[in-house]
Structure 1
Amino acid sequence: MIETVFTSQTLMGLVSDKKSFESITNDYFQILDLDRDGMLSPSELRQGLNRVVAVESEVASGVETDHVYNAIFERFGDKLVPAKFRNLMAEILTAMARAFGNSPVIMVVHHDGLIMKAVHHESKQGK
């Protein structure tokens, strides 16, 4: 875990760079697809999504996170292919960006998680 500072533009900058975003989400998909069948099952998603983006936290109850996962499966289906996974990640980052607005955010994140990828992407862009 690492502490970082970012803004909504950090997150949206990665999402809007289609080539980079596709490459990064494909890499995460490969990591999460434990049985290598080209689809993410609910079990695979639950095991790895928190590492990619913080879905679970110390303060959220199991019931609350169950609601999050149930909403994901209801919206995207029980088996996520890479394109659906990429759409899910784009929706999560977009929702986070909207929630944060233009204010800088300080957050503890996974050092190899999607938010850190967005921070690294932004720094490479010279912003």
Structure 2
Amino acid sequence: MQSKGGEMKSKTGGKVMDGSNIMELVENEKVFSNFVDHKFQELDRDCDGNLSVKELQPAVADIGAALGLPAQGSSPESDHIYREVLDEFTHGKQEKISKTEFKEVLSDILLGVAAGLKRDPVVILRMDGQDLFEFINSPTFEPEMLSLFSEIELPGGSLQDYIIKAFEKLTVDQGMPPATDPWVANNIVEPVLKSLHIDPQQPVSQEILLAEFKRAAERVAQHLKEQPAIVAHSQNTFDGSGIKRLLSNKFELDKVSDIFLIVY
């Protein structure tokens, strides 16, 4: 089912972003111009009618965050991508850019977003712990978890190490935000495990692991109930390789820049 904004409802109750709302924004000259005016005014801190490299940084940071990149300065590889994005706005120079130039580049990027979402829609899910609670209390919980445990190979790993790996193997279909995501790991999984005071010397057996993991999963579900997490979920796995290839080719970026997902 499609809504007026070009979003579609998924079977799981999430919203499917298929790019049509972004396309409508860019193709409506009046609406898009107003959108650009607002963003430009927000970024133009010195009100001189142009954007300096420094003033463009928040826009570049938004793009990086939407791509799932770590903060600037975290790694040479991600910093290279940030620089490439900035160069698309400044054409590789340190000069200021006008509103017209800003609008042209933003239009290219957003049209690329729309094209990418059309090919690979993203489901926006609000995870409130309900699905995770249902999974924990379902008859399939024990056999599924025992199967996942058998896939984990951590010679010398502690009980907590095994629990973390088990969380990483759960999916959004089971009600778990991706535990491999640094934000989820730092703000949900790690605080929960810390609150459980798991004995690092406790032996790892399937019986103990199942009991302790269930206890941890129940805490995570309760955490999500109190502080729901918003997850952008795609069936395709993003590893960043497409971005680096795309940003290395100016023509490809202009015509096919379908990786960027900007949330303003």
How many correspondences in the alignment? 108
Q: Paired residue for 1:55?
A: 64
Once the two structures are superposed, residues 62-89 of structure 1 have per-residue CA deviations (whole angstroms, 9 ceiling, x without a partner) of 1221122123311798322112111111
Match of 1:18 among 23, 29, 37: 29
Mapped pair 1:43 → 2:54: yes
Normalising by the residue count of structure 1, what TM-score does the alignment of the two structures yield?
0.69
Q: Secondary structure at the match of 2:45?
A: coil
Report if aligned partners of 1:9, 1:102 keep a CA contact under 8 Å in 2.
no
Once superposed, what is the RMSD of the aligned Cα atoms?
2.8
Match of 1:28 among 34, 39, 44: 39
Instruction: Provide runs of 4+ in structure 1 moved above 4 Å.
Output: none
What stretches of structure 2 of length at least 5 have no aligned partner? 1-13, 71-76, 125-230, 233-261
Match of 1:78 among 95, 100, 103: 95
Q: Paired residue for 1:89?
A: 106
Report if aligned partners of 1:40, 1:81 keep a CA contact under 8 Å in 2.
yes
What stretches of structure 1 of length at least 5 have no aligned partner? 117-127
Alpha-carbon distance between aligned partners in 1 of 2:123 and 2:36, rounded to the nearest angstrom: 23
Alpha-carbon distance between aligned partners in 1 of 2:93 and 2:15, rounded to the nearest angstrom: 30
Q: Secondary structure at the match of 2:123?
A: strand
Q: Paired residue for 1:65?
A: 82
Alpha-carbon distance between aligned partners in 2 of 1:77 and 1:96, rounded to the nearest angstrom: 26
Instruction: Give the CA deviation at 1:44.
Output: 0.5
Report if aligned partners of 1:11, 1:115 keep a CA contact under 8 Å in 2.
no
Mapped pair 1:8 → 2:19: yes
Report if aligned partners of 2:87, 2:93 keep a CA contact under 8 Å in 1.
no
**Which range moved further: 55-64 or 11-20?**
55-64
**Which range moved further: 96-105 or 12-21?**
96-105
Q: What percent of counterpart residues are identical?
A: 25
Instruction: Give the CA deviation at 1:4.
Output: 5.8
Q: Paired residue for 1:120?
A: none
User: Hey, which of these two has a bigger chunk of helix by percent?
Assistant: 1
Match of 1:106 among 123, 139, 143: 123
Q: Paired residue for 1:121?
A: none
Larger relative contact order (Cα-Cα within 8 Å, sequence gap ≥ 6): 1
**Which range moved further: 39-48 or 3-12?**
3-12
Alpha-carbon distance between aligned partners in 2 of 1:76 and 1:39, rounded to the nearest angstrom: 14
Q: CA, structure 1 residues 102+90, in 2 after alignment: closer, same or farther (shift >3 Å)? A: same
Instruction: Give the CA deviation at 1:115.
Output: 4.4
Report if aligned partners of 2:89, 2:102 keep a CA contact under 8 Å in 1.
no
Q: Secondary structure at the match of 1:106?
A: strand
Q: CA, structure 1 residues 75+4, in 2 after alignment: closer, same or farther (shift >3 Å)? A: farther
